[in-house]
Amino acid sequence: MFIVATIAIFGGMIFVLIRAFSGPTMYDRVLAVNLFGTHTVLLIGVMGFLFGRPDFLDIALLYALINFVGTIAVLKFFRYRAIGDITQIPDGMADQIADSMRGQMSEPRATSEGEKGA
Amino acid sequence: MSTGALIIEVLSWICITSGAFFVVVGAFGSWRLEDFWARLHAASVTDSGGVILMTIGMCLQAGLTLVTVKLLIIGIFLFITGPTATHAVANAALMSGLRPRVAKGLVPVEPAPLEPSGEPEKDDDDTGDFGKVGTS
Our CA-based measurement puts residue A73 at a distance from the nearest CA of chain B, in whole angstroms, of 11
Is A101 in Cβ contact with B97 (below 8 Å)?
Answer: yes
**For residue B42, which residues of chain A lie inside 8 Å, CB to CB?**
none
| Per-residue confidence (pLDDT) for residue B117, from 0 to 100 | 54
Residue pLDDT tens, chain B, 136 long: 788 889 999 999 999 999 999 999 999 999 998 889 999 999 999 988 899 999 999 999 888 889 999 999 999 999 999 999 999 999 988 888 788 877 777 777 776 665 555 555 555 554 444 444 444 4
Quote the CA–CA distance of B127 and B112 in Å, as a whole number. Answer: 6
**For residue B56, which residues of chain A lie inside 8 Å, CB to CB?**
none
Residue A85 has pLDDT above 80, yes or no: no
Is A64 in Cβ contact with B16 (below 8 Å)?
Answer: no
Contact A43, A10 (CB under 8 A): yes
Contact B85, B54 (CB under 8 A): no
Nearest CA in chain A to B11: A1
Q: What is the CA B2 to chain-centroid distance, rounded? A: 39
Our CA-based measurement puts residue B61 at a distance from the nearest CA of chain A, in whole angstroms, of 9
Is B88 in Cβ contact with A75 (below 8 Å)?
Answer: yes
Which range (A51-55, A77-81, B22-26, B115-119) has the least confidence?
Answer: B115-119
pLDDT confidence band for A80 (50 / 70 / 90): confident
pLDDT confidence band for A77 (50 / 70 / 90): confident
Contacts of A2 by beta carbon, 8 Å cutoff, 6+ apart: A46, A47, A49, A50, B16
DSSP B130: G
Residue A107 has pLDDT above 60, yes or no: no
| Per-residue confidence (pLDDT) for residue A113, from 0 to 100 | 45
| Per-residue confidence (pLDDT) for residue B77, from 0 to 100 | 92
Residue A86 has pLDDT above 50, yes or no: yes
